[in-house]
Amino acid sequence: MEQQERARALLELSQTQKERLSHIDFRLMFLGIMQRSDLIQRFGMKEAAATRDIALYRKLAGENITYKTKERSYFYNPNFIPLFEYSPERALAALSSGFGDDYVGVCSKAMIPCDTPTQLNRTQLKTLSILTRAIYQHQVVKLKYYSLSSGGSIREIVPFALVDNGLRWHIRSYDRKQSRFTDFVINRMENPEIIDSQIEEYETWEADIQWNRIVELEIVPHPALAHPETIAMDYCMQECMQEDLQNSKKSKQLKINIRAAVAGYLLRRWNIDCSENHSLKGNEYHLWLKNYQALYGVENLVIAPGYNLKYEN
């Protein structure tokens, strides 16, 4: 169906029909696979109605979808052209939070006044969709990756998770070139493609020690603050007993359990002083990591404010 004809056909549909078609479109684009049961579960509809929606989608965008009888599933077609428009922010919200994937359109009006800082590095949607399909279907991706240390090089990666560091999105993957698990910045990838390659057991997320290790961080107001109670309220800190050599006293702290693989991102994002004696100076340091010893063995600590690797020697 021609683009203009498709657009006219969409205008004649009800909003609920558009939402259901958008759900099909979204799953194909970002997960690479969808089943009739996905519609039934998402919209609480009957099987016959789901079948009609899939037939309508195939009529409007038949080049997007391929049915495989053996798997009894519909699959992403390499000639895929989205039936609806998606902003990277909405796509990432749906993928990471499980909502919003049925919205039709690029932008929407906020229900209350809302504003956020400008995003300087908008995620490349095409690259993102290839990576998420690979994650969802446990596949290998070949691409050219640009790093600060070595420039561009060809990599084969086994991706398994999206990671948001607060400023940009990464893909947690096994890197076959370096034979290790690491994070890849999505916008530094060029010409990614899914390849037919067997994934070994040591390349899966279960083998990623940093990903599977959980560290508990005890975060408190920075001791240099004149009014630490303000920060305690700001971060909804809970009261606890603090032991020292002289006496026991109550203090407030925030306990966070986080994967070792992403701990450095959190510490940098919130400017948490990780020095042993809370020695960092500056108005940006509102928080101090009281139990810096918990970071022993965490790999991405170069970016953690004040953390000195000599602690591990």
At 289-307, the pLDDT tens digits run 999 999 999 998 888 999 8
pLDDT < 50 regions, the chain = 101-102, 108-111, 244-247, 313
Residue 8: its pLDDT value, please? 87
Residue 3: its pLDDT value, please? 77
Give the chain's end-to-end CA distance (angstroms, integer): 66
Residue 110: its pLDDT value, please? 47
Domain with CATH 2.30.30 in the chain: 125-210
Q: Residue 54: is it exposed, middle or buried by C-beta count within 10 angstroms (0-12/13-18/19+)?
A: buried
Domain with CATH 1.10.10 in the chain: 3-97
* pLDDT tens digits for range 78-137: 999 999 998 888 888 788 776 554 455 555 444 456 566 777 788 889 999 999 999 999
- Residue 76's identity, in one-letter code, is Y
Residue 99: its pLDDT value, please? 57
Cα 291 to Cα 229, 256, 294, distances in angstroms: 20, 12, 6
Which of the listed CATH numbers 2.60.40, 1.10.10, 3.40.91, 2.30.30 matches domain 125-210?
2.30.30
CB count within 10 Å of CB 277 equals: 10
Tokens of 236: 């909804």
At the top level of CATH, which class does the domain 3-97 belong to? mainly alpha
Residue 150: its pLDDT value, please? 87
Residue 310: its pLDDT value, please? 57
Tokens of 44: 């609480």
Indicate the length of the chain as a whole number: 313
Residue 111: its pLDDT value, please? 47
Residue 104: its pLDDT value, please? 54
